[in-house]
Structure 1
C-alpha cells in the first residue's frame, strides 16, 4: 500500500517493503530507504565487496565467517560495495548466477537481513538493469540494488553513489570490454545531476554519522590505486559536508586510510572472493593505517558517540580495529 507524504518541496510516496522498510520515492531527489536502529539507538552492519563467484575463491568461507560475526553483532543489514557478480555481471534478471552467487551462499540466519548494494564496473559489463529489477527482490527479498540512493537510520545516513560512470577509462578503452550504459543516455548530464543530488542530500543531512558508499576507491594502495576522477569530483563534496567514512570495494583487499585534509576515513572492503593480487602501491602512503591483500570483510558498529570499525580475514580473525568518537551536544 502506498501512503502519500507531502512536504514543502515535493510529493512523495512511501512503499512498505519487507523487513519493516520504507522506500521513499521522489521525483527529483535520491530515493531513500528508512531503516530503524536497535531499541537502544545503536546500529551495526557488515560491509562486503567484489564477491559473486558461485562460492569460489573462498567466497563461501568468507560468507561463513560473516554469518558468525553477524550473529555476534546482531547486525541490522549488509552493505555491498559492488562487483556483485563476476566476471560480467548478470546476463539477465533470470540469470541463475543471482541465486548461485548470492541466495545459496549467504545462508546464515544472521545474514537474512536487507542487503543494500551498488553496481561495480563488472556489473556494468553485463545487464546492469537486471540487478535493479524488482524481479530479483521477488526471488530473494533481501536484495536491494539501485544506482544511487540513501539509507536513513536517524543515527546515520548512508549515501550510496554510482561511481562507475565517473571513471573515464570505461568510456575510452572500449576494445577490452563492453559496458551497459542504457540507463545513462548523457554521461555529462548524469554525472552533473548525481553530484548535485549527493551534495544537496549531504548538506540537508542532520545525521550524527554520515557515510558514503561507492564501488571505486578514492584513496587506495591496492592494485587499482587512487581514482583520480573521484578525487577531483566527489572528494571535495565529501570534505565540505562533514562525511565521516567513505566505504568502497574495487581493490580486492582490506584497507584503512585517513584523509590528511579532513576527518574522512577511507575504508576498502573489496575482498569478498578473489584476492591476493600481490601488486601493492606505496605502503608508505601518508595516512595509511592498515592494508591486507587477502579475503575478508568489515563490520561497523555505531552509537551516538562512538564508531567501531573492524576488519576480518577468511578465518574470522580480527586484523584491524579503528575507533572514532563524537561529542554529544547538550540540548538547549
Structure 2
C-alpha cells in the first residue's frame, strides 16, 4: 500500500468511527482481476508465533503467492489470551506484523473481534492508530466488504452470547459502546437485514467469530441460531464463515443452501474433540490450518489446508449467472 492510499484508508476509518452506526460501514475492495477474486481466511491465531502460528503463517504466504490473493479475512480471536491492553501493546507487532511477513500477505486484512479480543481493550483494537503501525490492519465490530463478485458481511457475534455478560467479576469483557445488549443486537440485526436485502452481488457471505454449527469444542451457538440464522436464510446467504472452534470444518444445512465453514486453526488446536449435531458434517479436521477462496460470478471454490499448506478438503459451489 502506498503512503497516499494508507493515508486515505486512515481518513476513511476515522470517518467511520465518528459516524452513526445506523447503517453498516462499507469498504470496497475490487479484485485485481475483475473476473475473479482470491483470498485467504484464518482465525484464532494471535499467540506471538507459538502453537504453530508461525508455521501456519509460512504456509499462508506460500499459498497466497500461488493464488495471487486480493486480501485476507480474520475470523477473530486476534490476540490471546486477553486482547490488547492499548494501542501501544507490543502484542500487535509480536502476533501480527512480525509473524505474517510473507510478501503475498502484505495486502489488506479485514478482521472481526472474537471473545478473547473482548477481554482486552476493544477500542484499542478498533483504533485507526493501529493502521498507522501496520497499514494492512482493518478491524471493526460489524461492516460490509464490497468485492463486486461477492459481498462479505462481517458481524460482531460476541455480544450475542449471554454467558459472557454473566461472567464472574474477575473475567473482564469490554462492553463499551455495546451495552445495553438488547438494543445493540436489535440495531445490528436490522442493519444487517437491510444490507443483505440491498445486496446485488452474485455471492453473499457472512463472517463472524462464533460458530453457528460446529462439531468441535464449543459446538453450536444457540443465540446465533435463534437470532442471526433466520436472517441469513431469509436473505439467501451462501456461506457463514467463522472461527472460535480451533479446527477446520464444513457443515451443510439440511434446510437451506447455507453452508457453515469454520477456519479457526491459526494457532492452538483442540485435538480429538468431536460432538455431532443436527446438520450434515462434510469435513472435519482437528488441527491447525487455514482456508482459501477463489470466486467468479458463477463458481466458488474453497480449500482447507493444514499447517504445511497441504490441501485437506475442497468444496465447489455453483451459481446461476447474475448481472452485477
TM-score normalised by L of structure 2 = 0.93
Q: CA separation of 1:277/1:172 partners in 2, compared to 1, >3 Å: closer, same or farther?
A: farther
> 1:232 maps to which residue?
226
Give yes or no for the alignment of 1:17 onto 2:9. yes
Q: Aligned partners of 1:151 and 1:166: how far apart in 2?
A: 22
Where does the alignment leave 5 or more consecutive residues of structure 1 unmatched?
A: 1-14
Take 1:305 and 1:177, find their aligned partners in 2: how far apart are those partners? 46
Alpha-carbon shift at residue 287 of structure 1 (Å): 1.1
Tell me, yes or no, if structure 1 residue 210 matches structure 2 residue 204. Answer: yes
Q: CA deviation at 1:22?
A: 9.3
Q: Residue 83 of structure 1: which of 74, 77, 80 is its match?
A: 77
What is the DSSP-based 3-state SS (H/G/I as helix, E as strand, rest coil) of the residue aligned with 1:90? Answer: coil
Aligned to 1:45: 39
Question: Structure 2 residue aligned with 1:35, among 23, 29, 37?
Answer: 29
The answer for the alignment partner of 1:311 in structure 2 is 304
Q: Aligned to 1:296, which of 278, 289, 294?
A: 289
State the distance in 1 between where 2:36 and 2:308 align: 27
Name the counterpart of 1:160. Answer: 154
Q: Distance in 2 between matches of 1:264 and 1:316?
A: 27
Match of residue 171 from structure 2: 177
What pairs with 1:205-284 in structure 2 (closer than 5 Å)?
205-282=199-276
2:108 to 102, 114, 117: 114
Deviations 1:199-251 (A, max 9, x none): 11001101100000000010000100000000000000000001011000000
Measured in 2, the distance between the counterparts of 1:279 and 1:308 equals: 27
Change (3 A) 1:316 1:285: farther
Aligned residue in 2 for 1:97: 91
| 295, 306, 313: which one aligns with 1:320 | 313
Measure, in 2, the Cα distance between the counterparts of 1:290 and 1:305.
Answer: 23
Match of 1:10 in 2: none
Structure having the higher helix fraction is 2
Higher relative contact order (CA 8 A, sep 6+): 2
Aligned mates of 2:190, 2:37 — CA distance in 1: 28
Aligned-pair CA distance for 1:40: 3.7
Tell whether the 8 Å contact from 1:22 to 1:35 is kept in structure 2 after alignment.
no
Matched, 1:138 2:153: no
Partner residue in 1 for 2:65: 71
Structure 1: 4+ residue segments shifted above 6 A: 21-24
Q: Which has the higher strand share?
A: 1
Q: Residues 232 and 285 of structure 1: is their aligned pair in 2 closer, same or farther, counting only changes over 3 Å? A: closer
Q: Aligned to 1:16, what secondary structure does the other structure show?
A: helix
In structure 1, how many angstroms separate the alpha carbons of the residues matched to 2:152 and 2:223?
Answer: 21
Aligned match of 2:4: none
Shift of 1:279: 2.3
What is the count of residue pairs matched by the alignment?
A: 314
- Summarize the Cα distance change of 1:22–1:128 in structure 2 as closer, same or farther, 3 Å threshold: closer
Query: Pairwise mapping of residues 186-205 of structure 1 onto structure 2 (< 5 A)?
Result: 186-205=180-199
Supply the RMSD in Å over aligned alpha carbons.
1.8
Query: After superposition, what is the alpha-carbon deviation per residue over 1:73-118, rounded to whole angstroms, capped at 9, x for unaligned?
Result: 1100000000000000011110000000000000000000000000
